[in-house]
Structure 1
Amino acid sequence: MEGITEGVNNMSLAVDSQKKNRIQVSNTKKPLFFYVNLAKRYMQQYADVELSALGMAIATVVTVAEILKNSGFAVEKKIMTSTVDIKDGARGRPVQKPKIEITLAKSDTFDELMAAANEDKEAADAQEQN
């Protein structure tokens, strides 16, 4: 019985350690602006967002971060790089992959920019209906 309790406690720790404001970016699954818009929604909800990627997806994360910074929505808080051991599917042996984590915070003008973007979208939607 003791082992089961320990397992349940460890399981809840694993859930807690996964951040709610983290976006794991892939360079194959979604278009670039899917991640840009998702990051904006996360910043509305959590005030900051952590973009994370492995290997070839690192370029996508950097591009998403730069779009958000250059358009005035975000400011850079932290950049962390590391390597992680991933099991190679074909051979089953560990392979080291580069990893990047970029934490962005809402800019001072974030709320104003979001409001302006929403107004532009509503105006465009209204024009389409006419």
Structure 2
Amino acid sequence: MEEITEGVNNLSVTDSNKKNRIQVSNTKKPLFFYVNLAKRYMQQHNEVELSALGMAIATVVTITEILKNNGLAVEKKIMTSTVDVKDESRGRPIQKAKIEILLGKTENFDELMAAAAEERDVGGGEEQS
């Protein structure tokens, strides 16, 4: 799994300077960290691009499905490719599967987010991050 993380870290600068891109690793953060981050990015940029390599692809698909099933996101574009990643143990590049999913806000995204925020405020009186 370390080579996946390394692969994500080695993506070119032009690839990673998009302000609404989340590079998902299945080792670094819990699933709902990414779900909540994706919601925030959609609020700010109206869309979010989730990107992952190798085993983390399943995590991106799960995040996408959670957002779709909650009525927050629609798929705009799905791109698949393979990328060369340096494998330290073998000393030569290996090919990794890559997925990029572009999600946009649904028509009632803002409504649903406002309702969820209101629920939190009324529920505990404490702000959750």
TM-score bracket, shorter-length normalisation: 0.7 to 0.9
Please tell me whether residue 20 in structure 1 is matched to residue 19 in structure 2: yes
Note the alpha carbon deviations across 1:65-111, whole angstroms, 9 max, x for none. Answer: 00001100001000000000001011220100000000000000100
What is the match of residue 80 of structure 1? Answer: 79
SS at match of 1:99: strand
Max Rg structure: 1
RMSD of aligned residue pairs (Cα, Å): 1.5
Name the CA shift for 1:90/1:37 in 2 (closer, same or farther; >3 Å).
same
Counterpart-to-counterpart distance in 2, 1:34 and 1:110 = 19
Counterpart-to-counterpart distance in 1, 2:35 and 2:116 = 14
Please tell me whether residue 33 in structure 1 is matched to residue 32 in structure 2: yes
Unpaired segments ≥5 residues, structure 1: 1-13
TM-score between the two structures when normalised by the length of structure 1 = 0.84
What is the match of residue 108 of structure 2? Answer: 109
Counterpart-to-counterpart distance in 2, 1:15 and 1:98 = 19
Note the alpha carbon deviations across 1:25-71, whole angstroms, 9 max, x for none. Answer: 00011111110000000000000000000000000000000000110
Counterpart-to-counterpart distance in 2, 1:33 and 1:118 = 16
Please tell me whether residue 93 in structure 1 is matched to residue 92 in structure 2: yes
Question: 1:126 offset after TM fit, Å?
Answer: 2.6
Query: Identity of paired residues, percent?
Result: 75
Q: Which has the higher helix share?
A: 1
TM-score between the two structures when normalised by the length of structure 2 = 0.84
Counterpart-to-counterpart distance in 2, 1:30 and 1:89 = 23
Unpaired segments ≥5 residues, structure 2: 1-12
Structure 1: which 4+ aligned runs deviate by more than 6 Å?
none
Aligned residues: 114
